[in-house]
Every structure is written in structure tokens, then in C-alpha cells.
Copies of this chain bind each other. A is one copy, B any other.
Amino acid sequence: MRILNVGMFGLGNVGSGVARILNSNREIIEGRLGAGLRITRALVRDTGKPRDPATREIQFTTRIEDILEDPSIPVVVEVMGGVEPAHEFVSRAIRAGKHVVTANKSLLAAHGEEIFALADDADVDVYFEAAVGGAVPIIRTLREAMSSDRVSSLYGIMNGTSNFILSRMEAQKTSFESALAEAQRLGFAEPDPSMDIDGNDVAQKLSILTNLGFGANIPERNIYVEGIRSISLDDFRYGDEFGYTIRLLGIARQKAGRLDVRVHPVFVHKEHLLASVDGELNAFFVVCDAQGPSMLYGRGAGAMPTGSAIVADLIDVARNVMADSPARLSARQLWGRAHASPPQMDMGALECRYYLRFQVEDRSGVLGSIASVFGERGISLSDVIQRDRSSSQGNAVQVIFMTHESHEHKVQAALKIINAQEYVRGPAQVIRIEPELSAP
């Protein structure tokens, strides 16, 4: 049987998962592929470090040339993470004619266009299923199952850390801080959790998905991002009164000839499928013209789920190599920038319903004063709540406003004025309500 040798860039947690899967599923993979996959060399920082027993037969090196100049290695797996030196190493591998499988969302979000242009020149494959959604096959599904269809909207729970924290807050009625601490204890959150809880991880993944789903290349810096640090238990309580829970979503949708792309917490109807996605799991709710609504759900992180997605990509590359059709899909098809895309929508043009929570001084006239700022700007209110609550501190009280469909730019203009009033304690918490997710 033919054996395809695999080189590794990095061999940490996920890389060891790849090695374990290739070992334990060897028979099944060889049956399905009609060939074997063997990791022969791995580029690592420290060749002497103790490693997983599954990596026993791998030759370790600190010199990238040992892989790039080895003609018996047609494909490289990059699991180093981070932008540099992954960017340099992947570029060199492509130039050396190696196919690449990468799990590196930061690399693709930053340099995807350049990498796929290189791949086109070199006629090699670059696969990246594991870069978004771990084991959830969102990349493949957009590239293949939805290749026939127009994607009208995509809503993704694509950060397991944030989803763990939000669903823990809801289920256990616990604060953001203690849910975060629990996530850190269980290994679902990094010691510095900023990338996850501030939404940047989601923005990078969303930037990748806009290519395949919408033919657009929206860089991370052009994506509006809000994280979940300021979500409080009160937001869950008030949301519950309207039938909503809270999820941090990456959103991309076509609206009036524009592409609306953003990351922020959203009120999702409790009976909507996305509301059932609990803990560290990921899910993508996609609406297409012909297919209608669909959802993919599964493990978005972890050595074995991510490793499994990488090995599935390796099998795809190997199938191409064996059929003598590497670059069966052009780099533009792999990356998804193959059809015309609408221009990006300005965030201010967003129209939706808003939930706005203010912490204000408990004195007469405050509620009316806020309401009149909305009124003057043509923002129509559907619900106003002010209640004595145990969470009120000192002579502060919470007031909640729900708006009818309003423009983001008007709401932001109103908030700017209201947040500046001396009776307001800290900026308002904003949670948007997505029309497509506001009913089962």
C-alpha cells in the first residue's frame, strides 16, 4: 500500500491529537483512503521534550529545511498557532511545493489572501477545516454542500469559552467573574482570556467564513466587535422576561445589497435551536435561498476534535494527490473568493430591536429624561422596565428599554447623550435582537 508522509510544523496539544488519531484509526483510514498516512518529521522548538507515545516514530528537528527539503514529504500540517513564524513557515512550505493543512485562524485571517495566491502559483492544496469550528465541518459545508446555493445569513456560536461562560451564568445564576474563573479551572479559558471573551477570536473566524460564504474578504479590523465582559446576570433575568437567552454570535448576512458583518452578544429566543447550544460547544445556523435554514453543531476545540478535522483534511489532500489532481480546486475555490460579493454594510446602517440597560440615580425625572432622548431621535420604545431589585446599589437603580426596529446610528447617538448625563452610572449595556433568531 502507498504511504504518504506527513511533516508537522509544531507538535503540541493538537499535533499530538493528530498523531494519536493516525495511530488509533490507522486501519479505518487506510481502508477509506486506499493509502497510509505517516507523520515522519516534526519541526519543534525543543527536540528533547517528553512527548505523547503516539509520536514515538517521528523524527524531531529544529530546522525547517529538514522538512522542506525532504522530497518524500508531500504535505505539511501547521499547528504552531499565532501569526509569526507560522506565516513565514507556511509560505516557505508552499513555495517548496508542499500541500498544507492548517488549523491556524489567526494566520488565515491576517494573510489568507496572500497564502492562497502563493498556493495558486505553486499548484498546491491548502486546507483549513480545523481553523473554524474545530470538528464542525462548516468550511466543507460552505465550500461543497452550499456551493449550489446563495447564503443569505450565517450566525455562529464559534467561541467555546464565551459560550461556556454565558450558559454557565444562565444555568447556575452565577456572575460573569465566577463563570470565567470556572472556565479557567476547567481549561476552557486561557489565563489571559481576552481573545475569547472580547470577541476577537470570533472576528478572525468570521473573517475566514465571509470568504467561503459570501465571496467577500472582510479583514478582522473591519468587523464591528463587542465581547461579553459587561454582560450581567440581570441581562439574563430581563431577557428571560421576553423569552430570550444570550449568545455571543459571529454574524454575516446579506441585507439590501450589502454584507452585514459583526460580532456581539445577541438575545436569542429560548426555543431557537441556537439557544440549546450549551457549554463549550459550537454551532452554525445558516440560511440559504434554496436549502432554507440549517444548523451544524459539535465540538469546536480540543486536541481530538481539532485533530480529527485536520486528519480529514489530510485525507482530502491525499485523495487529490492519489488521483493526480492536486489543486483540483483552485486556491480561490478553496478560499472562497470565487464569486462577486456585495460591499460591506456600515455598522450604523444596521436596523434591529435593542435592549438597553442603564444603571441610573434613583430619583424622579430620570426615566422620563432618558425616554425623551430616544423620542427626539425617532427611536420608538416597545417596553420600559424599572423595578426595585436587590441588585440596585446605594441609590442607583436599573432601567431597561426595549426599542422597536431602530437604526444603529440613531441608537448610538442617543446613547452618547444619555451616557454623558450626570445621573447615569457607567455606559449602557446594549444587546441586539436578531429578527431571524427572535422566534423558534
Main secondary structure of the interface of A (DSSP, over half): mixed
A334 CA / B369 CA spacing, docked (Å): 67
Q: Are B339 and A27 in contact (CB under 8 A)?
A: yes
Q: Are A291 and B315 in contact (CB under 8 A)?
A: no
- Chain B residues with CB under 8 A of A271: 276
A221 CA / B414 CA spacing, docked (Å): 67
Q: Is A333 an interface residue, CB under 8 A from the partner?
A: yes
- Chain B residues with CB under 8 A of A302: 292
Which one of B32, B146, B290, B305 lies within 8 Å of A291 (CB-CB)?
A: B305
- Chain B residues with CB under 8 A of A29: 147-148
Q: Are A308 and B149 in contact (CB under 8 A)?
A: yes
Q: Is A319 an interface residue, CB under 8 A from the partner?
A: yes
Q: Are A137 and B129 in contact (CB under 8 A)?
A: no
Which stretch (A70-78, A233-241, A324-332) binds chain B?
A324-332
Q: Are B32 and A147 in contact (CB under 8 A)?
A: yes
A18 to chain B: closest residue by CB: B148
A:279-306 near B, CB below 8 Å: 288-299, 302, 304-305
- Chain B residues with CB under 8 A of A97: none
Q: Are B28 and A311 in contact (CB under 8 A)?
A: no
Q: Are A305 and B290 in contact (CB under 8 A)?
A: yes
- Chain B residues with CB under 8 A of A144: 137, 140, 144, 312, 315-316
Question: How far is the CB of A287 from the nearest CB of chain B, in Å?
Answer: 10
Contacts A31-B340, A325-B325 given; indicate if A147 touches B315 (C-beta within 8 A): yes
Contacts A325-B324, A325-B325 given; indicate if A290 touches B33 (C-beta within 8 A): no
Which one of B21, B24, B338 lies within 8 Å of A32 (CB-CB)?
A: B338
Q: Is A150 an interface residue, CB under 8 A from the partner?
A: yes
A:147-168 near B, CB below 8 Å: 147-150
Which one of B17, B32, B329 lies within 8 Å of A290 (CB-CB)?
A: B17
* Chain A interfacial residues counted at CB < 8 A: 68
A24 CA / B290 CA spacing, docked (Å): 10
A434 CA / B315 CA spacing, docked (Å): 33
A337 to chain B: closest residue by CB: B31
Q: Are B33 and A330 in contact (CB under 8 A)?
A: no
- Chain B residues with CB under 8 A of A324: 325
A29 CA / B308 CA spacing, docked (Å): 30
Q: Are A295 and B298 in contact (CB under 8 A)?
A: yes
A291, A293, A307, A440: most-surrounded residue (chain B CB, <10 A)? A291
- Chain B residues with CB under 8 A of A25: 148-150, 289-290
Question: How far is the CB of A32 from the nearest CB of chain B, in Å?
Answer: 5
Question: How far is the CB of A319 from the nearest CB of chain B, in Å?
Answer: 6
Q: Are A135 and B27 in contact (CB under 8 A)?
A: no
A:255-281 near B, CB below 8 Å: 271, 273, 276, 278
Q: Is A136 an interface residue, CB under 8 A from the partner?
A: yes
A333 CA / B309 CA spacing, docked (Å): 18
A25 CA / B294 CA spacing, docked (Å): 19
Q: Are A150 and B28 in contact (CB under 8 A)?
A: yes
Q: Is A145 an interface residue, CB under 8 A from the partner?
A: yes
Which one of B28, B294, B299, B323 lies within 8 Å of A294 (CB-CB)?
A: B299
A32, A140, A338: most-surrounded residue (chain B CB, <10 A)? A32
- Chain B residues with CB under 8 A of A329: 319, 323
Q: Is A141 an interface residue, CB under 8 A from the partner?
A: yes
Complex A-B: 16 CB contacts under 8 Å: A25-B150, A31-B338, A129-B145, A135-B145, A135-B288, A137-B144, A140-B141, A141-B141, A144-B144, A144-B316, A148-B310, A149-B308, A291-B309, A292-B298, A294-B296, A323-B325
Measured CB to CB, the residues of A under 8 A from B are 17, 21, 24-25, 27-34, 129, 135-137, 140-141, 144-150, 215, 271, 273, 276, 278, 288-299, 302, 304-305, 307-312, 314-316, 319-320, 323-325, 327-330, 333, 338-340, 440
